Every structure is written in structure tokens, then in C-alpha cells.
Amino acid sequence: MGELSGFPVLNEFFRDGLKVGLSTVIWCNPLVDCSVLAYQICYRWLKNGGLVAYFVNNKRVDIVIEDFGRYGWDVQSYHENKNLILIDSYSSAMGIKSSEPYFVSDQSNLEEISSLILRVVKEIKKPNKLLVIDSLSTLVDYFGLKILDELALWNRMSLVYSFSPIYLFTDWDYDLTLKQRLSEICDNIIDVKALERSIITTEIYTARKIAGREVKRPPIPFKLVKPGGLKVYIPKILVTGPYNAGKTTVVHGLSVRAVSVERESTTIALDFGHLEYKGFSADLFGTIGQQRFDPVLEMLGGESVGVILVVDSTKPESFPRALEMLRKARVYGLPLVVFANKQDLAEALPIEEIRRRMRLPENIPIVGTIATKKKGIFEGLEILLKQIFGVWGENRFWIRIISLHSVWA
């Protein structure tokens, strides 16, 4: 239930998910709107049959519903059937009458706020409750260090009333003592930051604390998609291979949109595609297979993050050319998956025979594919994504991706 599904890599960090009794801070710098991450968690929680109590003190409650909708998450029905409960701590401050059954009459009254939050989670008998505080920063602005005593109380009561608390905290250069204590009080910390590089901003997320333990996890670049929300962004996957191996078909098969520059059904420039898959967003660049275009291979291979090598399983005579193209594109050492294409044809070689003839080591995956029917291509993509993020912990690798994200943004 508490799984951070839909958040590639981050879900791997938090294998136990958002467990009852474990508090989580989404800790953002001012250049990032952390509410989108909270909306995405809430929507998936609701879709899985859970209940969300959403405390809001920095915007109107109808704006919260609208914000969900902007990212493609229609929560109106959840609100109407009381699976999404909005605790309104904003209207009274604006002199507006609240339409919600749970509302704060005096936003400057910490005792009223704390009592109302605990009353809501106590009155809701349904299991799988998620409490979101949006925003903790506004509460800090009102009450300073005193709010942390209440936060510690809510964390303790999360076990009594069976809920998982999430706090949205924007770090507006607050006092170091306050930030240190907040870090100590909460069990999980998700950092969401915008890294400025010249005039380009790269957004990343990572985990700083998991289940009460300080950790060091590499940052993951992401972008916000409307609709769709937060997606891990991979700026460049190279799709290469000999002439007529099926590269264009692979690019188009994997992509939600793609373009090719062709003459008489042959690619004469490059294929470009964009894929959206299980929370990942990536750009695909397909190379030209003919040898006369080899001088541009190195340029196309530059700045790649991973490689799909497409070979024609019926033409072993083209295998040396495939390896030559890898060398000329200068992509050796990058995560690599070989697509042994055209496996539906009678003369197609089996996978192990292809491995033997290409002299590929066992640690290079070969996937049998029929690109014209999209068979095997997404399985191969998943293997490549696991390879990419399996070496993510190497500093040289994630620095490369963050740099490339800036280049291609």
C-alpha cells in the first residue's frame, strides 16, 4: 500500500514504502514545487484504495483539486466520496467561508490546528490513511520552532491512529537549528532540488534519510509532465546497428512520438523518438546504417547514456559491422543491450549462436525481438533501464547524466 509506485529508483530507495508510523519530509529548495510529488503520491494512494487527509494552508482547497487535474489526476470523485479529505486552514485567513467539513477558524492558533489534525485521523476508521501537511513551511513561518513539538506529537500518534504522515517543506533559508531538529524528528527525507547550471536548471530528487538512517543516494534527474507528473528523464539513448537491421522500426515501436528522415524507405539522416514508459521519459536517437555516413557516428554517439544495438538475426555477415559501429560511435562501456531482431524469420539464428558469433561476454544482454510486432522491444528496454540505474551509484555516471540533462533541456 505504501509503495512509492510510479517513482522509478526512488521506490528502490524506499523498499518498505510509506509505512504506518514512519514520517516523511519532502524537502525542497525554493526553485521546485514539491506539491506535485505529493499530489502524485496521493493519487496513487487513492487509486490503491487508501484514504488521504490533506491539510492545506497556502492555497484554496478548490485550487488543490484543480492542481491535481492539471497533471491528469481527477480526484473530484474521491473528494465527493470522502476518500480525499481536505483540511482547510487557508480560507479563514483570507476571510472566506470554508466549504469543507474540516476547517481551521484561526490559522494563528496552533492548538486548534493540531487538535483538528488529530481529530480527523482519529475519526477516520478506515485503514491505509495518508496525512499530508501542505505546507510545513507556512506553519514554521507562523510558529517557529514550536511547530516541531507538534510535528513530533503527530509522528508519535501515527502509530496510535494508523496513518503515514508526509510533510512538504520548502527550505527558505531557515535557521540551521530548526532544520537540524526537523531532520532528526522525521524518519524519511526526500530531497527535491533544482541545480542551476548557467541559464539551465536541472531538477533532481534523491533520498537523504530512510527509516531513520542517514543515507547517501545519487540524485535522479526528472521532469514534470502535464499530464503525467514526475518522470525520471534520460536525455539520450542511442539506437544503432547495420543497414536494414530494423533500427527505425525499434525507435518508432518504443516511442510515443517519432520522426525519421528517409528516402525510399531508407533512413538518410537519423531517427528521433520520445518514449514514456513506467515513470521513465527518454529521448531515442537512431543512427544511419550505411558506411558512407560513418563520419557522423561519433557525433551521434556522443553524450549517450545507454545503447540499443539492433542486429538482423538472419544476417550473421553483418555482425562485424555492428561491432564496428559501436566502436566508431565511441559508446563502449555504456549500458548496452543487443536486440536480435527478425526472430520470426525461419533463418534467424538463436540467441546463444548470435552471442558466440559476435563474441559477446555474458554480461551483455541479448534480447530476441520482432520489432514489426513490438515483441521483445519493451523487455529489452527494461533491461537497459535496469543497467543504466544499476551503475547510477558511480559518480562519473550520474554527473554525466545531470550534465546531459542540462544540455538537452
Please, which residues bridge with residue 370 across strands? 375
How is domain 10-217 classified at the CATH fold level?
Rossmann fold (3.40.50)
- Tens-digit pLDDT string for the chain (409 aa): 555 545 666 666 665 567 888 999 999 988 888 888 899 899 989 998 999 999 999 999 999 999 999 988 999 999 999 999 999 999 998 989 999 999 999 999 999 999 999 999 999 988 889 999 999 999 999 999 999 999 999 999 999 999 999 999 999 989 999 999 999 999 999 998 876 554 445 677 788 888 888 887 777 777 777 777 778 888 889 999 998 999 999 999 999 887 766 544 554 457 899 998 888 888 999 888 777 666 767 777 777 888 999 999 999 999 999 999 888 888 877 899 999 999 999 999 999 999 999 999 999 999 999 999 999 999 999 999 888 876 444 444 444 444 444 443 3
Tally the C-alpha atoms within 13 A of residue 26's C-alpha that lie toward its C-beta: 26
**What pLDDT score was predicted for residue 371?**
95
pTM of this structure? 0.75
Contact partners, residue 116, CB within 8 Å, separation at least 6: 87, 102, 104
Q: How far is CA 119 from CA 52, 122, 298, 336, in A?
A: 14, 5, 63, 54
Alpha-carbon distance of 179 to 188, in angstroms, equals 14
**What pLDDT score was predicted for residue 392?**
43
Contact partners, residue 14, CB within 8 Å, separation at least 6: 4, 188, 207, 210
End-to-end CA distance of the chain: 34
**What pLDDT score was predicted for residue 284?**
93
**What pLDDT score was predicted for residue 12?**
64
CATH 3.40.50.300, the chain: domain bounds:
10-217, 232-408
Domain 232-408: which CATH number of 3.40.30.10, 3.40.50.300, 3.30.70.100, 3.40.50.261: 3.40.50.300
